[in-house]
Amino acid sequence: MKRFILSTLAIILFVPFGVIADQGMWLPMLIGKYNIEDMQSKGFKLTAEDVYSINQPSIKDAIVIFGRGCTGELISPEGLLITNHHCGYGVIQSHSSVEHDYLTHGFWAMTRQEELHNPGLTVRFLVRMDDVTERVLSAIPDGAGEQVRDSIVGVVGHKITEEATSDNHYTARVMPMFYGNQYFLFIYEEFLDVRLVGAPPSDIGKFGGDTDNWMWPRHTGDFSLFRIYADKDNNPAAYSPDNVPYTPKRFLPISLKGVNPGDFTMVYGYPGSTQQYASSQAVAHVVDDLNPLNISLRDARLKVMEQHMRQSDTVRIKYASKQAGVANAWKKWIGERNGLIRLDAIEKKQQLEKNFEEWVNESPIRVEEYGHLLNSFDELYATRKPLSIAASLSREAFYAVELLQLVRQFGGLLNNVDNSKLSEEQYSRLIDYTRDFYKNYHKPIDVEIFTTMMSQLSDILPPALTPLALEELKPENSDDWYAIALGVYSQSVFADSTALISMLADSTSSRINVLQNDIMYRLSNQFDSIYSASVYPSLRDINSKLDLLYRTYVKGLMQMNPNAVYYPDANFTLRVTYGKIEGYFPSDGKEYMHQATLDGIAEKSRLDVYDYTVPQRLLDLYETKDYGKWEVNGTIPVTFLASNHTSGGNSGSPVINAEGHLVGVNFDRVWEGTMSDIMFDPDMCRNISIDIRYALFIIDKYASAGHLLEEMTLIE
């Protein structure tokens, strides 16, 4: 029986193409089977083996997971790698100070010796992937409940990864696809010594800032360069001055030919997470509850940060990366919500569900297997709603307060002490946390964020979820929250790094007592205990029930529409998506072209917009048209649009042309298309990439770092 299910599933999950739509994030090892003919019919000149192979170097060997959430690609035989500026942002910031302000001025290593070491930054290559569905599913007994199933999947997955890594230095993970209808093994090789080679000034790399983020027309030079170092045998090694540049199995040649409307493009990287199969209730929850709540909470937080950042350069540098992160999701949620509304996404999902119901009711066997689904979705999402809102309030309101984030790090140790005993080593770890935290901390910002968040929480948190410590702080008049906040911050030892560190280092003080009685600790501790009792377990339980429902639902949808195309939701595993260069019509009477150029940077620089500051040197190059070999039709191409189905995590992904050459680096989507994580619209969804020729122009003419071009393979 199980075997039968498996083979039918395999057939319905990946239908032969012919009806392949414009969307999809495909597993590279399967494109030979399902996509390559379609890709070739759209202009791709290479083979599936060129894209992904385990027998010979292929394009996949030029692609890495960069850090924790981005993609990067190798562009030279000497380990040179390109990714986005915003992916390298934290690292660039960590090397920056008011004296060496690389964020503002950029950074270019003129020799290998000048390349900067980045503790903690790693890259991972995919060694190979395998379909392990049969092995995982055959271990699950018929009728197993979700908990039993989860634990079997865990055990078998562990065994599979152990086997894959027992005689090598690789790491591995088994990942579910289609909510556990399939499982794939991913084996990675991780490199630990990754150095900063170059980054343009923020006025180039982040040009347009949050004003232009998620939007077109776009003029952001969103790239930065790194180099992977290895030991003398080309193996991963911890940072050492003796390490040498890594020789990759494969790097991407760079095309200088540019892009034209209709050209085939492929984006190859690590999209993070999508919910293509979400039910109507799930979409309604995003549109009606989650996004409006999260947007308004971030609105408040951003206002505070931005106001302080404008007043001081030190604060601006400290908060640059944090603010960018907060603003990014904020703006995406706004676009996503608008897009879902415009697409009538809820109604479309309801229609699909109605069709599904009719199809199910055609046969008693279907009713038996699928008949319960839609009602169960209704019930579960109704029960889940307040819990999911509560979880948002924790992330977006309570832990928006930075000091509470620090306290939570302490909590991990403090909650488990058997009265009064922490080792000196544990104290020194706490001191490290503190030092780290205070590097980029500005108390006045946090006091104001505390003020707005606690004031809102004390209004909206249901009494059952309100910590006593918060209840006790609540002033008679909500205008008085700022005074309360000032009181809390002057009282809490966490709010004074010097006092905190010297107390932690003083073995004669009653350290645990002081920490545990601290107002911030009590707030966070009580909050977490309430949530651990009343929110998270129920939420986990519902989510696991939903997993089962979706596993069944997706299987049913595939049976209902055997000719439609299905691809697994993104889950930060390597994917191929392909499309073509094209603009779009954002709204009535407007057409957006596929390319933006340096002329637009000059145009924007004349507007009085904070985010449109252009470095004088770039303006000079523009005024004198000193473009050298990079000139194209009297200007410099800067960015372009294409219809590749990408998501967060695809930042830094290579945009590859029909010949397999690098033409751009993906960094964003257009605002009208940000709902693509939930519903893709071929008319509106476009990914935005930096034209690789702009990056080369900046390296060569702006930064005079042309020596870096010598190690690349440029195809004229």
Tokens representing 356 are 């599904």
Contact residue for ligand ARG among 86, 219, 442, 594 (CB under 6 A): 86
d(CA 450, CA 519): 13
Cis status of the peptide bond prior to 241, with omega within 30 of 0: no
Nearer to ligand GLU, 515 or 570 (CB): 570
Residue 650 as a binder of ligand GLU (CB under 6 A): the answer is yes
Residue-wise DSSP of 534-596: HTHHHHHHHHHHHHHHHHHHHHHHHHH-TTS---PPP-SS-EEEEEEB--B--STT--B-SEE
Contact residue for ligand GLU among 198, 258, 649, 664 (CB under 6 A): 649
Residue 28 as a binder of ligand GLU (CB under 6 A): the answer is no
Minimum CB distance to ligand ARG, residue 270 (Å):
13
Residue 58 as a binder of ligand ARG (CB under 6 A): the answer is no
d(CA 353, CA 432): 53
Nearer to ligand ARG, 215 or 254 (CB): 215
Contact residue for ligand GLU among 651, 656, 678, 699 (CB under 6 A): 651
Near ligand ARG by CB under 6 A, which window of 13-21, 320-328, 404-412, 562-570? 320-328
Residue 180 as a binder of ligand GLU (CB under 6 A): the answer is no
Minimum CB distance to ligand GLU, residue 674 (Å):
7
- Note whether 570 and 426 are within 8 A (CB): no
Q: Collapse the DSSP code of 82 into the 3-class scheme (helix H, G, I; strand E, B; otherwise coil) and give the result.
A: strand
d(CA 637, CA 509): 63
Contact residue for ligand GLU among 669, 686, 693, 701 (CB under 6 A): 669
Tokens representing 440 are 């980029």
Residue 323's binding partner among ligand ARG, ligand GLU, none (Cβ under 5 to 8 angstroms by kind) is none
Residue 223 as a binder of ligand ARG (CB under 6 A): the answer is no
**What number of chain residues touch ligand ARG (CB under 6 A)?**
13
Q: Collapse the DSSP code of 632 into the 3-class scheme (helix H, G, I; strand E, B; otherwise coil) and give the result.
A: strand
CA distances from 297 to 182, 214, 539 (A): 37, 20, 22
d(CA 21, CA 38): 10
* Contacts to ligand ARG from residues 321-380, by CB under 6 A: 324, 327-328
CA distances from 262 to 18, 20, 207 (A): 19, 17, 27
Nearer to ligand ARG, 338 or 544 (CB): 338
d(CA 324, CA 302): 9
Residue 209 as a binder of ligand ARG (CB under 6 A): the answer is yes
Q: Collapse the DSSP code of 121 into the 3-class scheme (helix H, G, I; strand E, B; otherwise coil) and give the result.
A: coil
Residue 270 as a binder of ligand ARG (CB under 6 A): the answer is no
Residue 650's binding partner among ligand ARG, ligand GLU, none (Cβ under 5 to 8 angstroms by kind) is ligand GLU
Nearer to ligand GLU, 384 or 669 (CB): 669
d(CA 15, CA 585): 31
Residue 672 as a binder of ligand ARG (CB under 6 A): the answer is no
Minimum CB distance to ligand ARG, residue 43 (Å):
27
Nearer to ligand GLU, 178 or 667 (CB): 667
Residues designated as active site = 86, 222, 651
Residue 647's binding partner among ligand ARG, ligand GLU, none (Cβ under 5 to 8 angstroms by kind) is ligand GLU
Minimum CB distance to ligand GLU, residue 686 (Å):
10
Residue 333 as a binder of ligand GLU (CB under 6 A): the answer is no
Residue 647 as a binder of ligand GLU (CB under 6 A): the answer is yes
Residue 569 as a binder of ligand ARG (CB under 6 A): the answer is no
Residue 263 as a binder of ligand ARG (CB under 6 A): the answer is no
Tokens representing 581 are 């260069």
Minimum CB distance to ligand ARG, residue 70 (Å):
8
Q: Collapse the DSSP code of 129 into the 3-class scheme (helix H, G, I; strand E, B; otherwise coil) and give the result.
A: strand
- Note whether 692 and 245 are within 8 A (CB): no
Residue-wise DSSP of 169-220: S-EEEEEEEGGGTEEEEEEEEEE-EEEEEEE--HHHHTTTHHHHTT-SS---
Q: Which amino acid is at 604?
A: K
Residue 213's binding partner among ligand ARG, ligand GLU, none (Cβ under 5 to 8 angstroms by kind) is ligand ARG
- Note whether 243 and 546 are within 8 A (CB): no
Residue 209's binding partner among ligand GLU, ligand ARG, none (Cβ under 5 to 8 angstroms by kind) is ligand ARG
Q: Collapse the DSSP code of 335 into the 3-class scheme (helix H, G, I; strand E, B; otherwise coil) and give the result.
A: helix
Residue 648 as a binder of ligand GLU (CB under 6 A): the answer is yes
Which among 697, 467, 693, 681 is positioned nearest to 586, based on CA atoms? 681
Q: What is the 3-state secondary structure (H, E, C) of 652-699?
A: CCEEECCCCCEEEEEEEECHHHHHHHCCCCCCCCCEEEEEHHHHHHHH
Tokens representing 715 are 């195809």
Contact residue for ligand ARG among 214, 572, 622, 671 (CB under 6 A): 214
Minimum CB distance to ligand GLU, residue 464 (Å):
36
Contact residue for ligand ARG among 201, 339, 568, 648 (CB under 6 A): 648
Minimum CB distance to ligand ARG, residue 201 (Å):
15
Near ligand ARG by CB under 6 A, which window of 184-192, 208-216, 409-417, 527-535? 208-216
- Which residues contact ligand GLU by CB under 6 A? 646-651, 667-669
- Which residues contact ligand ARG by CB under 6 A? 86, 206, 209-210, 213-214, 324, 327-328, 648, 651, 667-668
